[in-house]
Amino acid sequence: KCVYIDPPYNAKFSEVLYKNEYKHSSWISMMFDRLFVSSKIGKKQHIHVIAIDENEQERLGAIIDLLFPNFDKTLVTVVHNPGGIQGSNFSYCNEFAYFIFPSIGVHIGTKIIEDANEVSLRDWGGDESTRESARNCFYPIFIKKNNIIGFGEVCQDNFHPKANENLSGGIIAIYPIDSNGIERKWRNARNTIESIRDALKIKEKDGVKYVIRLKNEYRQKTVWDDTKYNSNVYGSKLLGDILGEKIFAFPKSLYTVKDSIAASTFSEDNALILDYFAGSGTTGHATINLNREDGGNRKFILTEMAHYFDTVLLPRVKKVSFSPEWKDGKPKRMATKEEAERSPRIVKYIRLESYEDALNNIQFDDASGQAGLKFDDYLLKYMLHWEARKSETLLNVEKLVSPFSYTLHIHRDGQTAKKNVDIPETFNYLLGLNVKTRQAVYDKERRYLVYRGRIDHREITVIWRETDGWTKADLEQDKKFVASQKLTEGADEVFVNGDSFIPGAKSLEPVFKARMFTEAGI
């Protein structure tokens, strides 16, 4: 539903790596590629919010025009640094946020304020505020003892009452007539006025009663200048209180992100929010807080490649899931019962295999590989497809008999170590499985990991177990156990690793291998 990103601004303190004089084109290439992909995913009605400053704002606007031809874009000014950053001619106190949304329909929610403002229900002046401009907005509002008891029908054109008409039984009819006796109109037509009845109150001035509306809901403005958008106080200081130290530069104000998500997901409180420049994790924090406030069930996906994933982003998400308020790295209070119920129960995080990891784990068949290198026309592509076919990084199918022991050599911080790879989760992603349940069951010492979920409208079950060294007797027992536990019951399709006698089950290895190396459409 919503993509919120805060990409590198390409400012002096955060310039992207570029060659010679190609600073801006390097930034454009980076953003175009990523926005092209994110413009294709999810619902056609999804909204993008992109934070940016003056360095690349115009170029970003041009990219948006190319990639979102049927969408509207609105540039919102956010006053994030009231003190300003000194420039040559101006002191910069704001940044921007592009809101990109479908051109048809209402997609940006209204802003709710805590303290309601009093607004006259009667239009005050101007040619469009008169009775003639909207005849269905001229009707009586009946009150008794300053309480609204009902609404009359639209008046005939030849009926010209006073502002207040006393009726029998202590009832007063109030009409939208100003102090000069000019017949105006109510702001709401007769067919909509009852929907806001609870927000209407009676006031009196100079002996004349009139109707006001308590309004706390407004359209979003294109200038956000509330003090809560101050990134120093509600970004840097807030994050420092959570972590106990300041180890991340220039985090967004929590409220800038929260209000952006609230406006973009107002019609779907179970929306999915994606941030692929996750930084310090403000988007995740904002989503958690928003759910706590309104009881929503929004979920978030955060992607980050930098080292502070482990030192900032993940600790922040863990901490704010536990408690809403922190000081000096310690919780100021425990979450209330309601806050705890609305907080995340599980946060899954995964580390994707990098290009460097893949290259480090390519292994060649020495006999055929070295011989092949003697030929001038021997292609690297062929080597990868054949001689390196058993490399772990290219998915060594033979090792899927032990799916819980699959490892890669991972190089980090100058050291190489064996790390386990979550093969079952990898398969789920490649298959496109929307997982509903994950269950571990045991047949004595033998562990089964069973996933159940959906692909489109089909019920899918995936069964994993260690089958290394199995005999026919093991496969027979496997079949009996799966049947006794009803592990495949209700499934339209069943996938299983290794050999099996399970009725109707498909071997997942061919599917796994094909999905690993087939470009999927977005």
Is residue 71 within 8 A of residue 45, CB to CB? The reply is no
Instruction: Work out the angle at residue 450's Cα, subtended by the Cα atoms of residues 449 and 455, and round it to the nearest 5 degrees.
Output: 140
Map residue 218 onto helix, strand or coil. strand
Q: Which residues of 441-480 are buried (b: 16+ CB within 10 A; e: fewer)?
A: eeeeeeebbbbbbeeeeeebbbbbbbbeebeeeebebbee
Q: What is the pLDDT of residue 87?
A: 80
Q: Which of 31-40, 371-380, 407-416, 476-485 has the lowest mean pLDDT?
A: 371-380
Is a pLDDT exceeding 70 seen at residue 8? yes
Cα separation, 174 vs 209, in Å, equals: 7
pLDDT digits (tens, 9 = 90+) for 207-227: 999 999 887 777 899 999 999
Residues forming a β-bridge with 205: 208
Task: Name the range with the highest mean pLDDT among 130-139, 210-219, 476-485.
Answer: 476-485
Q: Which helix (H) or strand (E) holds 320?
A: helix 314-322
Is a pLDDT exceeding 60 seen at residue 522? no
Cα separation, 295 vs 279, in Å, equals: 26
* Positions of CATH 3.40.50.150 in the chain: 2-109+221-341
Choose between 508 and 214: higher pLDDT: 508
- What does CATH list as the number for 2-109+221-341? 3.40.50.150
Map residue 273 onto helix, strand or coil. strand
Helix axes 282-294, 254-264, angle to 10 degrees: 60
Per DSSP, helices labelled H in 181-227 are none
Is residue 452 within 8 A of residue 460, CB to CB? The reply is yes
Is a pLDDT exceeding 80 seen at residue 112? no
Choose between 254 and 126: higher pLDDT: 254
